[in-house]
Every structure is written in C-alpha cells, then in structure tokens.
Chains A and B, each alone.
Chain A
Amino acid sequence: MSTKRDQDRIELLQGTLDLLILRTLRLGPAHGHAVAKAIERGSEDVLQVEQGSLYPALHRLIKRGWITFDHGTSENNRRAKFYSLTARGRKQLAIETGRWDKLARAIARILRPAAQE
C-alpha cells in the first residue's frame, strides 16, 4: 500500500522507526502526525513512513516506558495525544544511536570495496 508517487523513496528498515521516533521526540513533545511529518522532512522526503505504522510503534515505546503521552489541545482546537521522551527513553536513544552508528560503519566497510570495483 505504498504511494507509488516517487520511485526514489526508500522503505524503512525494520526497527529503525523506533529510533527515528525517539530522535524526533528529543526535540520536544509532538502529536502523531507531526512525528510522521518530521521524519519525512528530516530525511528530505527520502524515507517513506507508511504513516499508520507509526501507531503500533508509538504504543510499543509507551509500553517499554521510553516515551509517555499527555492529552493536549492542538492549534485547531482538537484533543490529541502529545508524545514526549522519558528519561529512560533519552538513555535508550543514546544506546540506539550508538548501535546504529556501529551498524552503519560496519555495512559501509563491507560495501565500500565493492563499490570501488
């Protein structure tokens, strides 16, 4: 059910959505739509988030205690959940970021020689 608009968009790797949500929320509380938009914009529209898949991920993070939520009133006067990072989530983000950097370096090392040939 992907939008077939742009051929050059990349589907998100499994598990990386969690990391992106945590990273996004580090900037401050946001509601679901804003998180999705932030991820898309932050990646200059390269990363394609099927917006719906955001919700199971958000709830998974709430369950783990990495983020929490509050009811707030948004600009158009509608009640919406505002998600925010917890102290544990902040710590987790550091760990996950470190892990991601390691993974990215490792993959790059493998791919670079191949790319030179």
Chain B
Amino acid sequence: MTRDRRPLDSLDDDIRDHIERETQDNIDRGVPPDEARRQAMLTFGNIALVMEDTRAVWVPAWFEQLEQDVRYAFRTFRRKPGFAATVILTLALGIGANTAIFSVFEAIMLRTLSIQAPGELFFIAHGSGDRAAPGSNSPYFERIRARTDVFAGVTTYVKSTFKVSGGDDLEIAQGQFVTGNYHAVLGVPMILGRGFASADDRGASGEPVAVISDRYWARKFSRDPEVLGRTVTIDGRLTPIVGVTAPNFDGLDPGSRVDVTLPLSALDASRFVARHDGWTDSPIVARLTPGITSGQAASAVDAVFQQFVSEPQNVWLRKIPGWDHVRASLLPAGRGTAGLRNQYASSLRALMAMVAVVLLIGCANAANVLMARGTARAKEVAVRMSIGAGRRRLIRQFLTESLLLALIGGALGFAFARIAIAAIAALVGTGPTPILLDLQPNATVLAFTLVLSVLAGILFGLAPAYGCTRVDLASALKGAGGPVREAGRRWSTRQVLVAVQIGFCVLLVSGAGLLGRTLRNLETRGNGIDRNNVLMFSLDVRGTLLRAEQLPKLCDDLLARLTSRADVLSGSCSRNIPVNSRGNARPLDVPGSPPQPLNARLVFTNMVTPEYFRTFGIRVVSGRVFDARDSARAGNAAIVNRAAARFFFADENPIGRTVHFFKDESNPMTIVGVVEDTIQWSLRQEPPMTVYTPLAQLREPESLVTVALRTRQDPLALASSVRPEVRALSADLVVDYVRTMDQQIGATLVRERLLAMLSSAFGVLALLLSCIGLYGVVSYDVARRVRDLGIRLALGAPRRDVIRQVIAGALTVSSIGMLSGIVAALAATRLLSSLLFGITARDPLTISLAASLLMITTLLASYLPARRAASLDPVAVLRAE
C-alpha cells in the first residue's frame, strides 16, 4: 500500500499512457497512426527532460548526481582495483593511527564522568594559578558543607585499600571512604540496590555498609543478583552490601578503580584528619545550587577559606611553603581529578601531532597516486568535456571519488585502530600498576574518524581534481597521452608532494629517535641499586598487630623464614623502596652546622631492617649498616646517603655526629654509616638526601611494609611461594603487589615506553609511505622519459650513467625535502623537550641518523625504476614512436 503511494512510482507508465491517449485522440481526428503518434510526442515535449524535472521535485538534483557519481566511482575502482587498494590502504593506515591515538586522548583528556550533570560539579582547590590543588581537613569540610546557599551538595572521599576476606582467601581491594551523601550529590547511577544515605554515615552507632562496583560484583560475585544483603568481611568487620554502582563509574580519579566504598564513619578518625593540625589531599567535591554561577560560588568558598586560615588554631596553614597568599577557588570536576590528565597531556599532544603528520604523508601519497591516475584518465576526461560536461561537474566527480576512497579507508582504518588500541591497552592496562581506561569505540571517536576521513578526502582529492581536469582537449583526444606536458616546469606537483613527504618523515623519525633514546637513557640510568634478582611484595599488617613494637618482631620472623630458603640470598623489610616510593620528607637538624632554610633541609626518610642495603645492592661508602646493636631498646642510630653527608657535613666525617628531625629534639640519632645515593621519587629525578633509621626502632603504628628478597636465580620463580610462606606464619597477613625490581622500574616507565613504541611505529609507517610515494614518482618519471632515455642509450650513453641520472634526480627531490624536514625538526622537537631525558631536542646525532635513514630509503626506492630505465631496449623504444 505504502509502495503504491509513492508518487514517482510508475511515472514512465503515466507518461506512456498519456502519449497513447493523445495518439488515440489524433487518430480519432483522422490523422494516420504514424503521424498521430509523431504529433503526440511533439505535443508532449522532451520525455527525458520531463522525467528529470518531475523527479527533481522529490529528489534534489545534486542528490541524483551524487548517486551517479558514486556509481561511476565504483565502476572506476573496479576497473583499476590496484590503484583503489593502494589509496585505501594508505589512508586506512593514516586514519587508523589517528583514530587509535584519539581514542586514548578522548578517554584520558576529554571523557566526562558517567554521573548526573558532571558540569555542575567542582573541586575546592587551594593555591595559586596552575598549582591550585584540592585538599581538605575535617573542620574545613564542615564549613564548606554549611554553605548551602551556593552548593546543592558537598561531599568528600578518602582513597584507601581494604582487606577483604570471603571464604578462605584474603585480598586487597581498592576503595574509598565517602560521606553519606556521596552517591546522591554525584548522582552515581546504581544498577542494584541503593547508594549511601546520610544515615549510613553516622559514627560508630551502626555497623558499616558497603557499596561495590560493577566490576567487583562481576569478579567476586559473578554478578549474583542476590548479592544485596550478603556480607563480606572488610578490614575485619562484617559488612553488608547495599548497592552496586553502574559500569563505567570508578570514582573521581580517572585511571584508577574503586572496588568497595564504605561510609566515612567507618574510617579510623585519625586518617581523615579530624584534628586542627593536619591537611589532607582528600578533595572536597561540591555541586552548585541551580542559578548560582561558579564565580559566585568561588568567592563564597574563598571567604570561608580566608576566615578559616585566619583563626588561631589554623594559622599554621599559612606557614606551609607558598601558602602565605593562598586563595580558594573552584576547579571543574566533570572529568574527575587531574592526575592522569597532567601525567599524559604532553605525551598525548605529541602523539596527536605525530599521527597528524602520518596522515598528511598518507594524503600526499594518495594525491600522488590520483594524479598518476589522472594522467591515464586524461582521454576520458577530454571525451567527457567535449560532449559538454562542465569542469565543475568533473571536479565534483573526482572529489566524489576521493571522498569515497577516504571513507572506505576510514572504515578500514577504524578496524586497524582497534588492533592498535588493543596493543596500547595491553601496555597501560597490565603490569603491577595498571591504568584503567575504557577504550571501547564510542560516538565521539566515531565522529572524529568520520570527520577526519572527509577532511582527508578533500585534502588529497582537491589538487588532483583541479589538475586532472585541466587537459588540452585536442592533444588528449588525439591520444598524445598525458595532460599538458609540463614543459619548462622544473618541478612537478608530484615531486613537491614527495619532497614534503620526506620532510615530514625526517620530522617523525627524529622524534621517534629522541623518544626511543629517552626510554633507553631512563632504563639504563644508574640508580644506585642492583636491580637484578630482586623480588618485592607489600605486606599489609592492618588489624593484625596490637602494638607498633610488634611489627619489627613480625618482620624478623618472616625474614628468618624466607632467608632460610636456599634460593634466597638476603631479605629486608622497609617502609619505602628505591626508585618509586611515596615516602615522607622531613627537615633534618644538625646541631652545630650553619643554619639553612627548612626547605633546603628536607630529607627523604626510610625505616629499614639491617639487610636492606645488601638486598637492594646499595653500596656502603663508610661506617656500618644497622645490626643487632640497633635494637628497639638501644640508642637511636641513623645512616645517611652521600648527598645528605655532602650537604650537611661537607668535608667533615659524618660518622658519630648527632642529628635529629625537625621539632624532634628529644630523639637524637647518631650517624653510624654513609651509603651510596639511590633514586627514590622517579627515574627522572636526582637522588634525594636520605636518612635511614632502623625499623626496629619504629615508634608509630605502620600498616604496610615492603618485603624485598635478593634471589639466587630468576626472582619470578619465587613469586608463587611467597604467599604460602607468609600464610604459614600468620593467616591474617595479606600479601599484595608481588613484583620484581625490573617490573617495578618498567611500571614507572609505561608512559615513556608507550611514547617510544608508538612514535617508532609511526616513524616506520611514515618511512614506508614515503618509500612508496618516492617509488611512484620515480617510476612515473622514468615512464615519461622513456623516449628521451631511449635516445640517449641509442647514442651510446653507458647504462650506469642512466642509473646514476635517475637516482640523482630522486636524491635531489628528497634532499630538498630532507633539508626542510631538518629545519622543521629543529623547530618542532622542542615540543618534545618536556618528555625527553638525557638528550636535547636538537640532538645532532639523532637528526643526522634520521636524515641518513631517509637517504637510504631514497636510494632503495629509486634503484628499481633506475634499473628499469637502464635496461630499456633503445630499438624497441624508438620503434614504438
């Protein structure tokens, strides 16, 4: 029925019927049948035109032409599949690379949290300009929470790990403590049960309840729909589960996950600083009251803050270095905290620039191929123009073709991107400290790919479209081949394109070289330790010890057990480990030395068991390491590293000197030894001044220590026996984060490895594409000069002269490109400066290596066509004329 209602259906029948009626009328008037029909046709007019006009009422003319063009384009592709495949593949690689990097860029830099109206959420930040960072303490939080005039809701969270036991396995879950209104303020979607209510966050009165994440629900409970009401033991307390959050919600810190959420009241009060003498990095998150601007809210918040820090009990906050004129401000919280973004921003920008260059190289290739095709199609173009096709119409036809190629290439590129994304996800999402990213394709990425494909299609299609429709009709129709021969023009457009490609290639390859060498520099950096054969694991002793003094005893027992194994050489326990520790820094006082500002006296502190230095392979410079003399009851001993010895004692011997931590005069320490400097914060930073004290003299409770073992052979072989050994000692201890020192260092270099890996992949891709481009241009050049070369050979020119001439031509083109590339590289690699280590962005060696690589590529790409030129048969060539 609906089909019948389409007015255009059977239009030709309508017209035929019309003409037959008219013919019949004419016959009835006495006209002979043949003449009757002729007159009827005449009266009707041009049937084709009528049909076109009628159709145009419904279908715009451009659409119909588009349909024609598309059909025509597909016919063209089928006739020359090799040409279409080359262009499509080239573009697919370029667009695929862009899509892959953009997917990561989108996930890290652009993605907003999957919560309700994320744009209304703000962090309260303190500090000036870029350095403003969220932070809080409990009384301050209450003041902000009281500003219900500007905020519809205020919440905070404290990140934590939980010891979760279900059945007989104990494990560490990632989690957070939150205020009772957390889920309501953020508008966290729940797939099961409920979020917290304020009643859940009421001090010690009730038992705590837990909300778990979708991922944790799937992993621990296999998505059991009956999970609500089940209880789990979290940090030793039976806790019922009341809700499951929707997938894709992982708290406010992108990249990390939240398995379990507990109300803040379940948190030991000392950890969310309740007293007036602390400040934590737990962010305050606030949702604006409708109608209030962020500016109004910011001034309200700053008023609260200024009042707060002016009160006598909080005045100390102003004494924090850099905090004397601090203001409170609002930071948009819609994308979560900025940690991961700050860490990856410059890397991702560099990668986006690189893939853009790869795509430009790809476009140049595609343009080149299309132009070569255009030459072959000159006759077709000439024929179409001579029967009245307008040049605009032909340009549109060419552009339709290039857009189609780009869209097909884009679709294929999208598939390629999935492969690349899987590789990237494997790199960042595994290992001991995985970054959690949702890299599933989404609408934003899809739109990006589509827009990019269209832009690429126009970019590489425009020049050939104009070039190829500029034909000399007469000569083209005569079959003299080719568009207007570019007599007198030294450089063809195609040669310029290849030179540009080579230039971009130099840029990419030298960038890749710099990043690769940065990774190598960091990996091989001397860090003061022997990184081989060290196995480490974290030991969570929360809730298992009654008093702080028990921890050293536990460590001794555990180490005695572990080091009795034949495959363990030595073992240690410590609060921190080298290379990548969170560590605390405290100012050190050295009585009798010249006064120094507090900031300059900051030392990194670590508490270690005696075998720490042997286990990590840290050289002892002078004095001794800790031993049985440094027991809990003995006088306090300390070991300093060389940097600290140099700073505090210059040329004097530090051994035997007495020092104490700032404001801790009652606990003087005697320096007993000096050890080699070790890197502590990150591989990019210099070793800090360090003071070691014996773990045996621990005075404050500690919930987490790292156990390190130096093994005889492959440390990973031991990894599986660690848990049973610990379990045998105590069933309550949880072993977490088992890794070797090599893995630990690898984990700190994930970003660098990602950059090096991707940039070299893009470099190779660029080389390959340029090689193809160069080969195409040289081959075309040889084909065009066949007659010329034939005459030369006939006149007796040696073949190697011909080879030399062809290669020299290619080298000229690529040298020009290379020079401009080097200039661009010198200017652009400065963008990379912040990412480099141990090498400057203008490193001459790297840039010249890149240039040499391009030179070799040029030789390779031009050799085959040159050989072909030299093996021409002059007689055959001349006869063909």
CB distance B7 to A55 under 8 Å? no
CB distance B57 to A56 under 8 Å? yes
Q: Which of B8-16, B686-694, B869-877 contacts A (4 or more CB under 8 A)?
A: B8-16
Residues of chain B within 8 A (CB-CB) of A31 are 17-18
CB distance B7 to A51 under 8 Å? no
CB distance A79 to B13 under 8 Å? yes
Return B253 CB to nearest CB of chain A, in Å.
57
Interface residues of A in 29-83 (CB under 8 A from B): 31-33, 36-37, 50-53, 55-56, 59-60, 62-63, 69, 71, 74, 76, 78-81
CB distance B44 to A32 under 8 Å? no
CB distance B18 to A51 under 8 Å? yes
CB distance B17 to A56 under 8 Å? no
A56-B45 CB under 8 A given contacts A51-B18, A80-B17: no
A33-B45 CB under 8 A given contacts A55-B11, A55-B50, A56-B57: no
Which A-chain residue is minimally distant from B39 (CB atoms)? A3
Partner among A3, A55, A62, A76 whose Cβ is within 8 Å of the Cβ of B15: A55
Residues of chain B within 8 A (CB-CB) of A63 are 7, 57-58
CB distance A52 to B47 under 8 Å? yes
**What separation, in Å, do the CA atoms of A107 and B51 have in the docked complex?**
35
Return A38 CB to nearest CB of chain B, in Å.
13
Residues of chain A within 8 A (CB-CB) of B50 are 52-53, 55-56
Residues of chain B within 8 A (CB-CB) of A79 are 10, 13, 17
**What separation, in Å, do the CA atoms of A62 and B7 have in the docked complex?**
8
**What separation, in Å, do the CA atoms of A94 and B25 have in the docked complex?**
32
**What separation, in Å, do the CA atoms of A80 and B17 have in the docked complex?**
7
Return A17 CB to nearest CB of chain B, in Å.
13
A104: Cβ under 8 A from any B Cβ: no
B856: Cβ under 8 A from any A Cβ: no
CB distance B53 to A1 under 8 Å? no
Return A42 CB to nearest CB of chain B, in Å.
16
**What separation, in Å, do the CA atoms of A55 and B19 have in the docked complex?**
13
Partner among B7, B11, B43 whose Cβ is within 8 Å of the Cβ of A50: B43
Return B29 CB to nearest CB of chain A, in Å.
12
Which B-chain residue is minimally distant from A49 (CB atoms)? B43
B49: Cβ under 8 A from any A Cβ: yes
A59-B57 CB under 8 A given contacts A51-B43, A51-B44, A52-B47: yes
CB distance B45 to A53 under 8 Å? yes
Partner among A1, A36, A60, A81 whose Cβ is within 8 Å of the Cβ of B42: A1
CB distance B45 to A50 under 8 Å? yes
B130: Cβ under 8 A from any A Cβ: no
CB distance B42 to A3 under 8 Å? yes
Which B-chain residue is minimally distant from A51 (CB atoms)? B44
A33-B43 CB under 8 A given contacts A55-B54, A56-B54: no
Residues of chain A within 8 A (CB-CB) of B4 are 71
Which B-chain residue is minimally distant from A75 (CB atoms)? B21
Which A-chain residue is minimally distant from B49 (CB atoms)? A52
Residues of chain B within 8 A (CB-CB) of A69 are 7
**What separation, in Å, do the CA atoms of A55 and B39 have in the docked complex?**
19
CB distance B14 to A59 under 8 Å? no
Return A64 CB to nearest CB of chain B, in Å.
10
Residues of chain B within 8 A (CB-CB) of A71 are 4
Which A-chain residue is minimally distant from B24 (CB atoms)? A76
Residues of chain B within 8 A (CB-CB) of A36 are 18
Q: How many A-B residue pairs have CB under 8 A?
A: 71
B56: Cβ under 8 A from any A Cβ: yes
Residues of chain A within 8 A (CB-CB) of B11 are 55
Partner among A33, A59, A81 whose Cβ is within 8 Å of the Cβ of B21: A33
Partner among B45, B51, B53, B58 whose Cβ is within 8 Å of the Cβ of A51: B45
Return A63 CB to nearest CB of chain B, in Å.
6
B27-54 to A contact mask, C-beta < 8 Å, 1/0: 0000000000001001111110111011
Residues of chain A within 8 A (CB-CB) of B47 are 52
Of A31, A51, A60, A81, which is in contact with the most chain B CB atoms at under 10 Å from its CB? A51
A32-B22 CB under 8 A given contacts A3-B42, A50-B43, A59-B57: no
Which A-chain residue is minimally distant from B17 (CB atoms)? A80
Residues of chain A within 8 A (CB-CB) of B24 are 76
A1-B17 CB under 8 A given contacts A59-B57, A59-B58, A71-B4: no
Return B525 CB to nearest CB of chain A, in Å.
75
Of B13, B20, B25, B43, which is in contact with the most chain A CB atoms at under 10 Å from its CB? B43
**What separation, in Å, do the CA atoms of A79 and B10 have in the docked complex?**
10
Return A41 CB to nearest CB of chain B, in Å.
11
**What separation, in Å, do the CA atoms of A33 and B23 have in the docked complex?**
11
Which B-chain residue is minimally distant from A1 (CB atoms)? B45
**What separation, in Å, do the CA atoms of A38 and B835 have in the docked complex?**
84
**What separation, in Å, do the CA atoms of A50 and B17 have in the docked complex?**
16
Residues of chain A within 8 A (CB-CB) of B56 are 56
Of A31, A36, A59, which is in contact with the most chain B CB atoms at under 10 Å from its CB? A59
CB distance A60 to B45 under 8 Å? no
Of A33, A50, A56, A69, which is in contact with the most chain B CB atoms at under 10 Å from its CB? A33
A51-B22 CB under 8 A given contacts A31-B17, A62-B7, A71-B4: yes
**What separation, in Å, do the CA atoms of A37 and B26 have in the docked complex?**
12
CB distance A33 to B7 under 8 Å? no
Residues of chain B within 8 A (CB-CB) of A80 are 13-14, 17
Residues of chain A within 8 A (CB-CB) of B25 are 37
Residues of chain B within 8 A (CB-CB) of A59 are 7-8, 54, 57-58
Residues of chain A within 8 A (CB-CB) of B8 are 59
Residues of chain B within 8 A (CB-CB) of A3 are 39, 42-43
Of B46, B49, B50, which is in contact with the most chain A CB atoms at under 10 Å from its CB? B50
Return A21 CB to nearest CB of chain B, in Å.
14
**What separation, in Å, do the CA atoms of A51 and B24 have in the docked complex?**
15
A73-104 to B contact mask, C-beta < 8 Å, 1/0: 01010111100000000000000000000000
Interface residues of B in 385-401 (CB under 8 A from A): none
Residues of chain A within 8 A (CB-CB) of B22 are 33, 51
Residues of chain B within 8 A (CB-CB) of A60 are 57
CB distance B45 to A81 under 8 Å? no
Residues of chain A within 8 A (CB-CB) of B54 are 55-56, 59
**What separation, in Å, do the CA atoms of A50 and B45 have in the docked complex?**
6
**What separation, in Å, do the CA atoms of A81 and B21 have in the docked complex?**
14
Return B61 CB to nearest CB of chain A, in Å.
12
Residues of chain A within 8 A (CB-CB) of B46 are 1, 52
**What separation, in Å, do the CA atoms of A36 and B4 have in the docked complex?**
24
Return A36 CB to nearest CB of chain B, in Å.
8
Residues of chain A within 8 A (CB-CB) of B10 are 79, 81
CB distance B17 to A33 under 8 Å? yes
Residues of chain B within 8 A (CB-CB) of A32 are 14, 17-18
**What separation, in Å, do the CA atoms of A1 and B51 have in the docked complex?**
16
**What separation, in Å, do the CA atoms of A1 and B38 have in the docked complex?**
13
**What separation, in Å, do the CA atoms of A71 and B10 have in the docked complex?**
11
Of A56, A62, A63, A69, which is in contact with the most chain B CB atoms at under 10 Å from its CB? A56
Return A94 CB to nearest CB of chain B, in Å.
24
CB distance B14 to A55 under 8 Å? yes
Return B778 CB to nearest CB of chain A, in Å.
55
**What separation, in Å, do the CA atoms of A24 and B111 have in the docked complex?**
63
B interface residue numbers (CB < 8 A to A): 4, 7-8, 10-11, 13-15, 17-18, 20-22, 24-25, 39, 42-47, 49-51, 53-54, 56-58
Which 5 pairs, one residue from A and one from B, show the smallest C-beta to C-beta distance?
A52-B45, A52-B50, A33-B21, A56-B53, A59-B57
User: Contacts A3-B43, A59-B8 given; 13 further ones with Cβ under 8 A?
Assistant: A51-B18, A51-B43, A52-B46, A52-B47, A53-B45, A56-B57, A59-B7, A59-B57, A63-B57, A69-B7, A76-B24, A78-B17, A81-B14
19 A-B residue contacts at CB 8 Å?
A1-B46, A31-B17, A32-B17, A50-B44, A50-B45, A51-B18, A51-B44, A52-B15, A53-B50, A55-B15, A60-B57, A63-B58, A76-B24, A78-B17, A79-B10, A79-B13, A79-B17, A81-B10, A81-B14
